[in-house]
Structure 1
């Protein structure tokens, strides 16, 4: 039986606390980045909506609704109306993805913009990369990616199609093989 000393418990607790602090700091940095990007748009006279997703998940066809795949962001109810007021099907043809991977977790800001309307939707989310292989496989197979926005009760608010999945997954091969390699 291994010797469990008080020092080991303290080490474990310190590592856990440090990991938690790293995650909190990364999430705050993600939100700060989203706000800074929104400020840039607003300084140019654009209308913006910023959303910190309550939950983000890489969805793949075997776990979602039908053939749907992509990053699904659960939007707080207090942001749903603001989102739908700005969202239009087929609009927001431009997008940028800002990402930061820390300790197996992806922190992402997706910026969806419509230069004609001078409008931008910015969504911050975070998810564990170990849940992404199915989404990556579907994105590689289809050669595109999607962003889905819904409320907690699964009311679909809108989806965006993206022509380049590598903006979301620049290390697609590594992520696709995540489960096999145990990363």
Structure 2
């Protein structure tokens, strides 16, 4: 390690430590998604896991907030088929925050039917930016899309609190 005086580790070491924490958190997120899928399969249900190559919160032109997951081509086709063939109208969210990143698994499912589990991560600062730019009472959506922004599936959510840490959400009056 480079000596930097009494100020502690140098910037490169802090960045490396953060990268290691992010890699570990991402690996744990994927493992948890696979474990959830395996439980659904043990119940006799179809379960598909999609690992998003990128994710982020954005404000739409209408002033709503959307969590966008970029999914690879093969996974996009599988997810699109599952959404087209089933009403995945229920959802649950599993998340943790590590060093400014939110690691998340969203499970879209049909009771006693198939489940689509999407694993992703987004930067917490993007949540503040998105909600800061949103309308006074924004809707909240999740969207799966390919790298070229082709929509795969979109879901509306009445309760956004499961997706975003509470201290980021606007205070409701």
Same fold (TM over 0.5): yes
SS at match of 2:88: coil
Structure 1: runs of 5+ lacking an equivalent: 1-5, 178-183
Tell me the SS of whatever aligns to 1:165: coil
The one of 96, 99, 105 aligned to 1:109? 105
Cα gap change, 1:96 to 1:152, in 2 (>3 Å): same
Q: Distance in 1 between matches of 2:44 and 2:60?
A: 39
- State the alpha-carbon separation in 2 of the partners of residues 77 and 32 from structure 1: 21
Whether the 8 Å CA contact 1:108–1:126 is kept in 2: the answer is yes
- Residues in 1 aligned to 2:147 and 2:63: alpha-carbon distance in whole angstroms: 20
Q: What does residue 175 of structure 1 align with?
A: 168
Tell me which protein shows more helix as a share of its residues: 1
String of CA shifts for 1:67-122, please: whole Å, max 9, x gaps.
Answer: 55311000001211111111138821111110100111100000000126x11000
Within 5 Å, give how 1:122-161 maps onto structure 2.
Answer: 122-136=117-131, 138=134, 141-142=137-138, 144-161=139-156
CA deviation map 1:33-85 (0-9, x unaligned):
101110111111111111110110101125xxx55531100000121111111
Any unmatched runs of 5+ in structure 2? none
Instruction: Choose which of 57, 60, 73 in structure 2 pairs with 1:77.
Output: 73
SS of the residue 1:7 aligns to: coil
Structure 1 residues 76, 167: closer, same or farther in 2, change over 3 A?
Answer: same
Task: Report the 3-state secondary structure (helix = DSSP H, G, I; strand = E; otherwise coil) of the residue aligned with 1:21.
Answer: helix
1:14 positional shift: 2.5
Distance 2:19 2:59 in 1: 28
1:36 aligns with 2:35: yes
Deviations 1:141-181 (A, max 9, x none): 13x4211010001111110111211111241xx3257xxxx
How large is the Cα RMSD of the aligned pairs? 2.5
Counterpart of 2:9 in structure 1 is: 11
Q: 1:41 to 1:167 in 2, by over 3 A?
A: same
With the length of structure 1 as denominator, give the TM-score of the two structures.
0.81
Structure-2-length-normalised TM-score: 0.85
Number of residue pairs aligned between Structure 1 and Structure 2: 166
